[in-house]
Amino acid sequence: MSQLVTIYGGSGFVGRYIARRMAKAGWRVRVAVRRPNEAIFVKPYGVVGQVEPVLCNIRDDASVAQVMMGADAVVNCVGILAKQGKNTFDAVQAEGAERIARIAAEQGIQKMIHISAIGADAESVSDYARTKAEGEAAVLQHMPEAVILRPSIIFGPEDQFFNRFASMSRLGPILPVVGADTRFQPVYVDDVAKAAERPLTTDVPAGVYELGGPDVHTFRALMTLMLEVIRRRRAVVNIPFWAASIMGFGFDTLNALTLGLVPAQITRDQVRNLRNDNVVSDGAKGFDDLGIDPVAMSSMLSEYLWRFRPSGQYDAIKESARNLRV
C-alpha cells in the first residue's frame, strides 16, 4: 500500500500545492481542514480516493490525533495573518504546532515538515513572529528530526499579496503601502511545495531552511513591478509607521467591535512586522541545500495578474492592434 501523509491546512494557499505534489508522487493524501466541504477541490489531485479532505480542529487533541492515525508523515501548513475569534496567534501558531508535533511523536511518526516564516523570533514584539518561533521550538522539542521551512513572502495565483495590491490599484491614482523600504525576497508557492516534498521523498537532513526567491526588492519596487505587469500608472505612496500604527489600532478596534464581521485592512501586528526586512539570513540553509532552483517573479506574475489590466484578457490584443500599420 502507498504511503500516507496528513497535511494540516492542506487546502490553504501553500497546502494545496503540497497536496498536489504528494499525490503525483504516489502518496495517499489526507487533507485536514476545518471545513472539508469547502476543500473538495483537492480530490482531483489524484485518482479516486487518493486525496481526501477530512475534518480537523488543531485546537483539539482528539481531532488532531484522529486524522493523523496511520500516517507515515505529517505536514503542518496552518498559519494566520490576523487573529480571529478563538484562532489567535498563540492558539494556532504556537499551541497548534506543538499539539501536532507532540501527537506525531506519540504515534511514532518519523517525518514531519513544519511551515514557518522568515522573521520568526521568540523576542519579537510581533505576535505573529513570536508565535512562529514558539511553534518551531515546540516542533523541535517533540520531533527533533523535523524539517522546518521558513519562506519569505509567497507569491502565486492564489496569493494575498500581489492579488490584493493589484485589486487596490483599480480604486484610484494612489497605491498606499506601509514600509516602502522594507526588503522582501518573494518565493513562488510551488517552490515551497517542492521544498516540503523533497524531505518526504528523499534523504534530506533535518533542520531549518530559509526559502527566498532569486530576487530581493523593496516593497516599493515590488509594487512598481506589479504595476508594470498590470499596465497601470499609480503613485506608490509610503504611509509612515506612526500613521500606520494609528490606522492599525483603528481597524483592530473596529474588527473587535463588530465581532470580526469587518475585517481589518491592516493590523498593528502587521505594522510591527513590516518594520523588518524579510530576506534569507546570511549562512542559512536554503533552496541550494535542497537541490531546488527557485523560479523568478518576472516569469510568473503575468501568468495570473493579467486580469487586473485595464482590459483584462483583451489588453494584449488591444496593444497589438495599436501597433498595426494601416
pLDDT value of residue 124: 94
pLDDT value of residue 314: 67
C-alpha 60/C-alpha 87 separation (Å) is 12
C-alpha 98/C-alpha 104 separation (Å) is 10
pLDDT value of residue 160: 93
pLDDT value of residue 320: 66
Q: What is the pLDDT of residues 196-247, one digit of tens each?
A: 999 999 999 999 999 999 999 999 999 999 999 999 999 999 999 999 999 9
For residue 29, pLDDT beyond 60: yes
Confidence of residue 186 (pLDDT cuts 50, 70, 90): very high
pLDDT value of residue 83: 82
pTM here is 0.93
C-alpha 93/C-alpha 7 separation (Å) is 15
Q: What is the pLDDT of residues 86-121, one digit of tens each?
A: 889 999 999 999 999 999 999 999 999 999 999 999
Q: What share of the chain has pLDDT > 70, as a percent?
A: 96
Mean per-residue pLDDT for 157-180? 95
Mean per-residue pLDDT for 18-27? 96
Q: What is the pLDDT of residues 253-274, one digit of tens each?
A: 998 888 788 888 899 999 999 9
Which CATH superfamily is 4-154+187-212+278-294 part of? NAD(P)-binding Rossmann-like Domain (3.40.50.720)
Mean per-residue pLDDT for 118-130? 95
Average pLDDT of the chain to the nearest whole number: 93
Q: What is the pLDDT of residues 61-86, one digit of tens each?
A: 999 999 999 999 999 999 998 888 88
pLDDT value of residue 2: 85
C-alpha 100/C-alpha 139 separation (Å) is 8
Q: Could you tell me the three cell numbers for 24?
A: 503525483
pLDDT value of residue 196: 97
C-alpha 3/C-alpha 280 separation (Å) is 33
pLDDT value of residue 324: 65
pLDDT value of residue 325: 56
